[in-house]
Structure 1
C-alpha cells in the first residue's frame, strides 16, 4: 500500500513540473519578439569575422544581421527605386516655347520642343498634323523625306525638328508629343514666306513736269538684305553718277529693305519704264508718265497713293538735297 502511494505522488509531481515548464516556454515564445536580442560579444564577432572573411559575409557591430555585399547593393537599389517612385515627376513642356515659326522658301527651318523631366531620349516625337505622319522619335528620323532630320543631344531638354530646303507644302501645324498616359501634345505652326519685290504705286505712276520723282522699291521676306539693288530706266542703268544729273539713291536695310530713287526736276524724257532689280531676287517695274500741267481727275488716285506711301521717307529728301548740293560744289 505504501509503495502505491509513493508512485502516485511521483506522478502528480511530474505532471505539475511539466505544466510549469510548458507555461514558461509559451511565455518566452510570446514575448521573445518584444525582448531585445542579446548583443554578441566583441570577441565572438572578431572570431566570426575571422572565420568568414573568405566567404565575403559582413557582420554589423550593432546588429546580428549578416549580409553579403551583393545583397546589400540590391537592398540599396531597391530603396533608391522606392524613393524614385514616391517622388517621380511627370514630363512637362517648357512654358516659354514658341508656338509660331516663319521660314523662308528654299532655306532651313528648325522647330524646337523643350521637355523637362523626360524619361528617356525616345519619349519625345515630332508629328506632322495634316497627315499624322511620325517624322522623328528621339534622335531618330522616321520619314523617307531626307529634308527632315531629328536633332537631340543626350541629357539635354531640347528636341529639334530640322527641315532643309523648305517648300510651300511644308507650311502648317506640327505636334511635339511626350509619351505619357495620356499623351501630352504641344502644337506649333510653320509659316513659309517667299521673298517678294514691288515698286509702290505700280503699275503706272503720273507726275508733273519739273517736280521731284520719287520711286520706292520694297523687298519683303528676304532672309538677308540683297547685296545690291540696281535701278534701270528704259533698260539703261541709272544712278547718282548718270549723265542726267540730279539722281540720288537712298537705301534702308532691315527686315523690310527699301530703295528710294529720287530724280530732281522731272522732264518729259524721264517718262518710260523704270525697273528695280535686287541681286538674287525677281525684277519689278513701273511705268512713269511725266505730264505737262495738272493731273487729270482720273489720275489723282495713283498720285495720291504715291504721296501717301512716300511720307515715311520725307527725311531722306532733305538729306538727298544736301548730297546733291555737295556734289555740285565739288564739281565746281
Structure 2
C-alpha cells in the first residue's frame, strides 16, 4: 500500500491515495497529524498501523462528491437531550441523530483530550466500554459508554464532515457519584454521659442504607463488638427516607474523635465529636 500524502488546508486535511481524496478534520491523536505549514505536504506519522488507515479510508466520504453539490448539507437533530446524567457504574447513551447524512462518516470525540473514539463504525480506542450504535436508517449514531467511571465525566463531540469543513454537536456527560451525608453539624461538643445520635443517608445514588458503614477514628464500628462500649448501629431501610443511625448511649472520653459514614462506591462524610467533663449535655436532635 502506498503511503498517502497529507495536505494542510486551513481547518481540514486532505488524504491523497492515488485515485481518491478524503477529507477529515485536524486532530492530534492516534497518529493522524497534518503538517503545521499551511498548504505544504506532510507524511502521515510512520507509526500508523496500515489496518487503521484502511479502516479510516474505507468509511470516509469522497470530498469531490460533496463539493459538487451532491445531496444536502447534514444537520443535527437538536431536540435530543444533550445533558446526560448517569450514576457511577451505569451505562450512558449519547444520542446523535444526523439528517441528510448521505453516506458521510460520523465521528465521536472526547473533548477532554481530543481523542477520536469512533469514526463511522470503526473504533479508535482500546477501551471496550465505548461503542457506537447506528440505526438501520443511518441517521442515528449514538455513543454508548458502559460501566461509567468518574473520569468519563465531561464533554463529547459528535462530528460530521461537510464540503466546507465539519459540523459538530456537543453532549455533556455528568457522572453522578453517590455520597454519604451525616445530617447536622460538622462538630458536636457534649458532656460526659450525654446521648449522641448520628444519622447518615446516601445521596445521589441507588445505594440503600443497609450497605452503609461507620468508622470511629478510622476503625470500623461493629455493632456486636461495640455494644459493650455504649455504641450501637441501627438501619432503617424501609422508611420514607432510608438511613443508618449510630447511637452512643452514654458518652465517655474514649468516644471522642472523628466519625465517618460511607458506602461502597460512595464519597464518605465525616463529623467530629468532642467530649468534655462536667454537666451532661445532650447532642442536638437528629433531623430524622
- Greater per-residue helix proportion: 1
271, 293, 299: which is aligned to 2:255? 271
CA distance in 1, matches of 2:150, 2:111: 15
Aligned-pair distance for 1:213?
2.9
Unpaired stretches in structure 2, ≥5 consecutive residues: 1-68
Aligned CA distance change for structure 1 residues 238 and 97 (closer, same or farther; 3 Å): same
Higher Cα Rg: structure 1 or 2?
Answer: 1
The answer to whether 1:142 aligns with 2:124 is yes
Q: What is the total number of aligned residue pairs between the two structures?
A: 211
Match of 1:188 in 2: 171
Matched, 1:293 2:279: yes
C-alpha deviation, 1:187, in angstroms: 1.0
Determine helix, strand or coil for the equivalent of 2:109: strand
Alpha-carbon distance, 1:149 to partner: 1.8
Q: Distance in 1 between matches of 2:112 and 2:234?
A: 50
Native 8 Å contact 1:202 1:287 kept in 2: no
Unaligned ranges ≥5, structure 1: 1-84, 296-302, 314-332
2:160 equivalent among 178, 201, 209: 178
How is 1:69-218 mapped onto 2 (pairs within 5 angstroms)? Answer: 90-105=73-88, 107-120=90-103, 122-155=104-137, 157-182=139-164, 183-200=166-183, 204-207=187-190, 213-218=196-201
Shift of 1:116: 3.5
RMSD of aligned Cα (Å): 4.3
Q: Which one has more relative contact order, counting CA pairs under 8 Å at least 6 apart?
A: 2
TM-score by length of 1: 0.47
Corresponding residue for residue 7 of structure 2: none
- Aligned counterparts of 2:239 and 2:133: Cα–Cα separation in 1: 33
Quote the Cα distance in structure 2 between the aligned partners of 1:264 and 1:277: 18
SS in 2 for 1:113: coil
CA distance in 1, matches of 2:114, 2:255: 56
What is the CA deviation profile of residues 277-317 of structure 1, one whole-angstrom value per residue up to 9, with x for unaligned ones?
5356576554434554377xxxxxxx7xx76xx54x2xxxx
Deviation at 1:166, TM superposition (A): 4.0
TM-score (structure 2 length as normaliser): 0.53
Q: Deviations over 1:265-287 (max 9, x none)?
A: 64448834545353565765544
Deviation at 1:159, TM superposition (A): 1.3
